[in-house]
Each structure stands twice: as structure tokens, then as C-alpha cells.
Amino acid sequence: MDDAARVMGSANGVSTGRVERAPGSTSEIGVDWVLPTNLGALPAQLKERAQDVLVNQRKIVGELEKAKRVTLQHLAAVRSVPPARNPGASVYLDVAG
């Protein structure tokens, strides 16, 4: 598995609460992450920026979900094509009769 796949797998695990560890590794990306405690409230000057980040993340999640649906539809279409049975048979369909 390459680094990008490990990072994406780890990010997915963090978002779902399920992180699978690679054999011989402390975590998917090599470092165990621990939720910080006692951070206090978000500083007022960062509130607007944090809200913008959240809005943008939600937009991206929506775009990714849409792309996933389209990709799954394309995959279903590709899988619906029957395999070639006879190499000598015509590959064209006569729709005019």
C-alpha cells in the first residue's frame, strides 16, 4: 500500500472511528493520534474561520459523495456488458433490422 492510500485509509478511519493498524506499525500513518484534552473554548477571532472551514469541508464531502455515486453508476454500466463469448461473432448490433 502506498503512502497516499495509507493516509486516506487513516483519515477514513478517524472520520468513522475505525482505524485499522498496518502490521508492524503503530498506526496507519506511523503516529498514534490522541484527542487533545483541556483545550478550552475556541478563541473568538477564529470562530468565523472555523465556520468557513466547516462549510467548505461539507461542500467537498457533498462533491465526493456525488462523484462516488457517478462512479458507481459507471461501474454498474461497465459490469452490465456481457463478456465476449465467440471471438468470431459480430461485435455490432443491428438495430435497423
User: Which single residue is written with the C-alpha cell 456525488?
Assistant: 66
pLDDT confidence of 5, banded at 50, 70, 90?
low
32 and 26 Cβ atoms separated by less than 8 Å: yes
* Backbone phi, psi, residue 27, to 5°: -165, 180
63 and 55 Cβ atoms separated by less than 8 Å: no
28 and 12 Cβ atoms separated by less than 8 Å: no
Instruction: Give CA–CA dist 60/7, Å, rounded.
Output: 18
Instruction: Give CA–CA dist 46/35, Å, rounded.
Output: 20
Q: Is 1 helix (H, G, I), strand (E, B) or coil?
A: coil
13-22, 34-43, 74-83: least confidently modelled range = 13-22
pTM of the predicted structure, to 2 decimals: 0.48
Which are the contacts of 14, defined by CB distance < 8 A and separation ≥ 6?
Answer: 33
pLDDT digits (tens, 9 = 90+) for 22-46: 555 555 566 788 888 888 899 999 9
What pLDDT score does 72 carry? 97
